[in-house]
Amino acid sequence: MAGWHVRDFTPDDLEAVVRLDAESGTTDAPAVFGLSDVVAALHALHPCVVAVADGHLVGAAVGRVEGDRAWVLRICLHPAWRNLGMGTELLSALEHRMQGAGVRTLATVLPPDETGATALRNAGFRPREGLTYFEKAQAVTAQDVVLLASLGALVPPSGLWRRLAGMSAEKRLIERRLVLPLTHPELAAQHGVEPPQAVVLFGPPGTGKSTFAQAVAGRLGWPFMELFPSRLALEGGLAGGLSRRFGEVEQLDHVLVFIDEVEEVAGLRSEADPAFVGVVNELLKSIVRFRDRDGRLLVCATNNVAALDPAFLRHGRFDYVLPIGPPDHEARCALWSSYLARAGAEVDVAALADASDGFTPADIAQAARTVAQATFELTMDTGRRARPTTEDYLATTRRTRPTVTDEMAVEFADHTVRFGRT
Ligand SMILES: Nc1ncnc2c1ncn2[C@@H]1O[C@H](COP(=O)(O)OP(=O)(O)OP(=O)(O)O)[C@@H](O)[C@H]1O
Ligand SMILES: [Mg+2]
């Protein structure tokens, strides 16, 4: 005479589950798995069962499978249906579905006496005494994760910044102007500093502009989303695509939006056709809208800052226009050293830095990769562990054409004076 029946969750049940969750709690303690975790699991079709009585949803058990372990994220019971064995039946049904997924351990974390504690005991769960639950809140919620996946955005690893070798002047500038105000907004506000919302990075190809943008997102723990103008153009027009994408990111609490080769979108209007003017205007409008809210940063990168429409660079749109130049001698030493350590090479770093004037981080990475591969092949051929020499590196360096020619270096210095806003 149960009076209810248990079945699988369907997407139509979502609203009822959320409502039931609000009625179900028996303690004031906040749940370890927040409602956003529950909703994300339901969206992603993790196992979930519901109990229905008289056409109403009166119970739910929500799971999430992670490899061979699964979590019971929630046991919800309508207050009128407590202590009748419904929780136990829901758990058994959930367990049954988990077994099919190869789950070996089923676990949950509950405040003492929260809804479901009795059902868990009855269903054979045993409490583990003497454990302390630790947590640290991150900027991205589980609900965001679903949204991020659909937008093609990801939170880059936080270690990316640390792995950026050399470039200490650029790192210092980006750290102070961008990262610190965004990670210490209260302190910044006390000084009348408004955290930056949009910046341009300019410099020769391969100096690390894209990498810096990703590393900043990693430092902030914010999702990184790149907009590809060429793809947007194919998806029914660049202007419309830009406005749509900027609209989508409004759903995110935090985001770093990155546009590479922005001169393709925001080039000089005078030289452009009317369709192009529409695109520049759309981007300018999007930037204004984007700047309306905190917790977001637009990073635009270009190799050719002089080709940007002056309206684009005007004050009020971008907080900073930061030069990312070719690495100096010291930075080249640091870049080389990071690859030499990995290759187990003991060579004259200063000589390599001397020989690689005009090399970008990308050039140095390429030369180091070439030597590493050749040494590896030598070891395979001879059966003896080969070690690269200084001469091996110098020979490869001589064969590599530096990206930054003398003229480019002069032009970059000139652009830094004319356009840089640091
Ligand atoms: N400081 C650094 N330390 C180590 N590797 C780096 C560093 N900066 C860049 N790199 C590497 O160099 C390559 C080029 O960097 P990146 O693509 O960020 O340059 P870019 O300035 O965006 O180039 P482009 O103007 O062509 O888009 C990448 O493989 C990146 O991992
Ligand atoms: Mg790039």
Q: How confident is the model at residue 212 (pLDDT cuts 50, 70, 90)?
A: very high
213 C-beta neighbours (distance < 10 Å), count: 27
| Nearest Cα residue to atom 13 of ligand 1 | 362
Q: Whole-number mean pLDDT of the chain? A: 90
CA angle, 47 as apex, 45 and 52 as ends, to 5°? 105
How confident is the model over 15-33, as a mean pLDDT?
Answer: 88
State which of 211, 230, 359 you would mutate to test the pocket of ligand 1, scoring each by most atoms of that ligand within 8 A of its C-beta.
211
| Nearest Cα residue to atom 11 of ligand 1 | 362
Quickly tell me which residue has 């947590």 as its tokens.
135
Residue scoring higher pLDDT (143 or 405): 405
- Give the pLDDT confidence score for residue 272 in this predicted structure: 58
177 C-beta neighbours (distance < 10 Å), count: 18
200 lines ligand 1 (CB under 6 A): no
13 lines ligand 1 (CB under 6 A): no
The yes-or-no verdict on residue 285 having pLDDT over 50 is yes
- Give the pLDDT confidence score for residue 283 in this predicted structure: 87
Q: Which amino acid is at 307?
A: A
- Give the pLDDT confidence score for residue 143 in this predicted structure: 65
- Give the pLDDT confidence score for residue 142 in this predicted structure: 63
Which of 272, 268, 271 is CA-nearest to residue 310? 268
Please give the distance, rounded to the nearest whole angstrom, from the Cα atom of residue 208 to the centre of ligand 2.
7
CA distance 287 to 294: 13
The neighbouring-strand residues paired with 308 are 267
Q: Which ligand is nearest to the CA of 259?
A: 2
- Give the pLDDT confidence score for residue 296 in this predicted structure: 93
Quickly tell me which residue has 């080389």 as its tokens.
336
Q: How confident is the model at residue 389 (pLDDT cuts 50, 70, 90)?
A: very high
Which of 203, 196, 261 is CA-nearest to residue 227? 261
State which of 162, 171, 210, 262 you would mutate to test the pocket of ligand 1, scoring each by most atoms of that ligand within 8 A of its C-beta.
210
165 lines ligand 1 (CB under 6 A): yes
Q: Which atom of ligand 1 is nearest to the CA of 334?
A: 3
Q: How confident is the model at residue 140 (pLDDT cuts 50, 70, 90)?
A: low
CA distance 74 to 41: 11
303 lines ligand 1 (CB under 6 A): yes
The neighbouring-strand residues paired with 50 are 7, 60
φ, ψ of residue 131 in degrees (nearest 5): -100, 150
Largest distance between two CA atoms of the chain? 87
Q: How far is CA 20 from the centre of its chain?
A: 33
Q: C-alpha dihedral over 135, 137, 141, 142, to 10 degrees? A: -10
CA distance 65 to 73: 10
CA angle, 283 as apex, 219 and 408 as ends, to 5°? 70
| Domains of the chain, first to last | 5-135 (3.40.630.30), 143-326 (3.40.50.300), 329-403 (1.10.8.60)
- Give the pLDDT confidence score for residue 139 in this predicted structure: 65
Which of 131, 390, 179 is CA-nearest to residue 299? 179
- The pLDDT > 90 percentage for the chain reads 62
Residue range 27-48, pLDDT digits in tens: 888 888 988 889 889 988 899 9
Q: Which residues contact 7 (CB under 8 A, 6 or more apart)?
A: 49, 50, 52
Residue scoring higher pLDDT (49 or 137): 49
- Give the pLDDT confidence score for residue 251 in this predicted structure: 83
The yes-or-no verdict on residue 94 having pLDDT over 90 is yes
Whole-structure pTM value: 0.70
The yes-or-no verdict on residue 300 having pLDDT over 80 is yes
Q: Which of 129-143, 173-187, 276-290 shows the lowest per-residue confidence on average (mean pLDDT)?
A: 129-143
204 lines ligand 1 (CB under 6 A): no
- Give the pLDDT confidence score for residue 1 in this predicted structure: 46
335 lines ligand 1 (CB under 6 A): yes
166 lines ligand 1 (CB under 6 A): yes
Please give the distance, rounded to the nearest whole angstrom, from the Cα atom of residue 144 to the centre of ligand 2.
26
Q: How far is CA 361 from the centre of its chain?
A: 23
Q: Which of 149-158, 162-171, 216-225 shows the lowest per-residue confidence on average (mean pLDDT)?
A: 149-158
- Give the pLDDT confidence score for residue 384 in this predicted structure: 94
Q: Which atom of ligand 1 is nearest to the CA of 166?
A: 1
| Nearest Cα residue to atom 28 of ligand 1 | 362
- The pLDDT > 70 percentage for the chain reads 96
Residue range 167-206, pLDDT digits in tens: 899 999 999 999 999 999 999 999 999 999 999 999 999 9
CA distance 304 to 205: 9
